[in-house]
Structure 1
């Protein structure tokens, strides 16, 4: 029987498990590079959605000055707890940064989050978690001032290819999965950002089982992969791996897209 756990619940479960060591990774360095693409002025009001441990929010708070404000919103309490630690002994951050536990896909009623009041909305390393991405962006638009900007990053469709294929397997089996990447396409994208400096590698058909074991036991997904998915998913994964191959090779990339748009 298909699980009744929502994609949001699965994501919270995954990030609760990862919260304490989330920054022991490529994320802090990547966040610095992401924020270099998004100019912030003193006095700006910034809304950081799915702010997690506050990596982007803290950087933004350094730029807005005391006349600006940064509001970080996240649904996972464990991630916000890590972010709050950064405010405890930093008076500047304490003045400029507000952290709120709330759904980021429906901001209605969220404290400190008023419609039409923000110069910039950020969403980094989270957009693939949302089931209805078009509706989410349309909702966020309501919270921007006229001329306000939104900056979102999205993984390349071949980034962590095994994770994308496991997502397809989970959906075929009627099981929850915390991400939703099946809609991502690379056509016409202008700005790209590599995660750790790699491009693409190519893996053979014989790597299907190895990649299945890697992704179900990896740090990103081990806490949310059910025993049923481990048992039933392998054969489906082999099928998806073969379907993804081109001339017997599966391309795996290390790239993120960064989209910056303005409200008109």
Structure 2
């Protein structure tokens, strides 16, 4: 999941117009990913929550622990923060490399995840890339745009909404999915959940500072100069018909 500016905040950009200025923003969890946490909690409840864990992972600054603890109050059973050192451009490529490394560390310690859920895209960058890049690096199937998940014998059945109905995908575990807001209605944290989240342990993992990155470039659109237009009125009655025919013949339409 990702820490993103809260909806309704006044958004300003940095002087070089390349990033959002976060100095005076409030923050929350990206909506698609909030639904992903809820879906993971519901799946473990269907499977018998005592035998399954919901590991919530984010990459970001130390302040991202606020969103991790909120996730713990609504069903997250383990928390991990991949630190994002300042001064680096955490584009989708670098982010995916860091998350892939973190998943490998977590799986080496606790076993392979049956399902990795991503938000379909983050609310701020909207890149649609991170989940696909991570799944590809881990050699696992992934489908995006998911609005329904069922448990199957060897994995999961995922449903993607289309204009004509639903597309249905059967994926063997381990696999990954990108879910969309609306797949469920996220629960509100209880007082018990909030109190427990304050004591939850957060595992810190360091993001690779030398991970390859694509970088950003500022693009300006130069429009061609406007050309003066000339309007010719051919007529306003049936007498204009011959002129229209002559014009269409000149254009090669007739």
Same fold (TM over 0.5): no
TM-score by length of 2: 0.33
* Higher Rg of the two aligned structures: 2
